[in-house]
Amino acid sequence: MSLLDVWLGGTRVAVLDDAAAFGMASLQYTDDALRTFGRGGLALSLRLPVREAPYSAYDARPWLDGLLPEGELRTVLADRYHVAGDDTAGLLAVLGRECAGAVTITRNGDGPPVESGVHWLDEDGLDRAVRELATAPFGVGVDGRVRISLGGVQSKLVLVGADDGRFGLPLDATPSTHILKPSPLDDLGRERWPGVVHAELFGMRVAAEAGIDCAEVSFRPVGDRPAILVRRYDRVADGTGLRRVHQEDLGQALGVPPTAKYQKAADPLTPSLRRVAGVINDHADAPVTELPRLLDQVVASLVVGNCDQHAKNLSMLLDPDLGVRLAPAYDVVATVALGVETALSLTVGGESLLEDVSGQAIDDEAESWGMGRRAARRRREEILERLADAIGAAADGVRADAGEHEVLDRAEADARRRLALVAG
């Protein structure tokens, strides 16, 4: 029995069918998808090319679960909509109007997704939506027509930004433009990781100052709560309005569930940078261009002390106009400056601890992707030179916008010290 329709733009590309297993659904591409993308074409996922035969629930679930939030966020939303926490199809039925990439999901038979405009928020309304995130993720408590799903474990608002500076919540299938990430709070209402906003602003701005393609971020406090505003790179304004650009994270592309986004030793199916590079080699229009871009992102994360570069914090763009390529960098946070352990989410050159990664380990890693060793070393040296120049400018910019913070001081000092460690 068909449960849900999956859309890319105005095309109904797939249906999700009851898999006779609670919360699970198989995926079948439609005739429209076959005509539009052709057999073997890339529509929803690199892991799920277009074909006539359906994909089983086992094959489809990692991609579907990747559209949903994780952990406590998923539990809260499931309770709010009276859906079992493991009912992936049920959650997508109520939340899937605005997802990552170009995907929208409707109940079977409801027709194309409907854009219902924007619920605009004044500053008090924005502050209230942020304060209620713990019980109403994504602002679903503000308006019943807010039907948003986005991966990750951090509470956030998905917003539409206007040219006059206003922000609002997208209703039904209205595309959003920004993501607001307030500093998470603990059960006592205190910042769970004091300085995390400074740590992320620093990480992202170092990457940007070094010329690495990355999401645009800015400091945007709400009330007395520090927050980061991220402009979505999977939304593009064109002559007809806002266009969704499809993407998927590397967990989805590798077929691993969100709970398996970290590398595990001795597991051949675990995500790894080598497997990420394999996806690029197999599917990118120009791997010779994309592999160096991946190396840039990896080196930047190492320098700023971001140990949380896991499979879901790397993504691929599947753009009919520009082809398949690595997505801009995002979620680059100086985690070590926050006091987080230095175990890497994905190993580099066989090293699992940040302090053990040398220049040679980086070159070993890149060589395992298929890059020539001399080319890898040259690229590493080039990006390190740019990062060296970027650290001070990035730190100064964060101080000017968000103020002083000991986490920022520590992140800047650590990054300068780490430059020398990965240069040899």
Cα dihedral 262→421→216→138 (10° resolution): 30
List Cβ neighbours of 12 (8 Å cut-off, separation of 6 or more): 5, 6, 30, 32, 112
Residue type, 257: P
Q: What is the pLDDT of residue 314?
A: 98
Residue 89 clears pLDDT 80, i.e. is over it? yes
Annotation marks residue 308 as catalytic: yes
Domains of the chain: 2-107 (no CATH), 115-216 (no CATH), 245-421 (1.10.1070)
Catalytic residue among 17, 234, 249, 308: 308
Cα(first)–Cα(last) distance of the chain, in Å? 59
Q: Minimal CA–CA distance to 158: which of 397, 143, 246?
A: 143
d(CA 357, CA 373): 17
Q: What is the mean pLDDT of residues 66-72?
A: 96
Q: Minimal CA–CA distance to 7: which of 155, 136, 110, 137?
A: 110
Q: What is the pLDDT of residue 241?
A: 82
Residue 99 clears pLDDT 90, i.e. is over it? yes
Q: Give residue-wise pLDDT tens across range 344-361.
A: 999 999 999 999 999 999
Q: What is the mean pLDDT of residues 398-418?
A: 98
Phi, psi of 275 (to 5 degrees): -70, -35
Q: What is the pLDDT of residue 1?
A: 57
Q: Give residue-wise pLDDT tens across range 210-243.
A: 999 999 999 999 999 999 999 999 999 887 789 9
Q: Give residue-wise pLDDT tens across range 197-208.
A: 999 999 999 999
Phi, psi of 112 (to 5 degrees): -60, 150
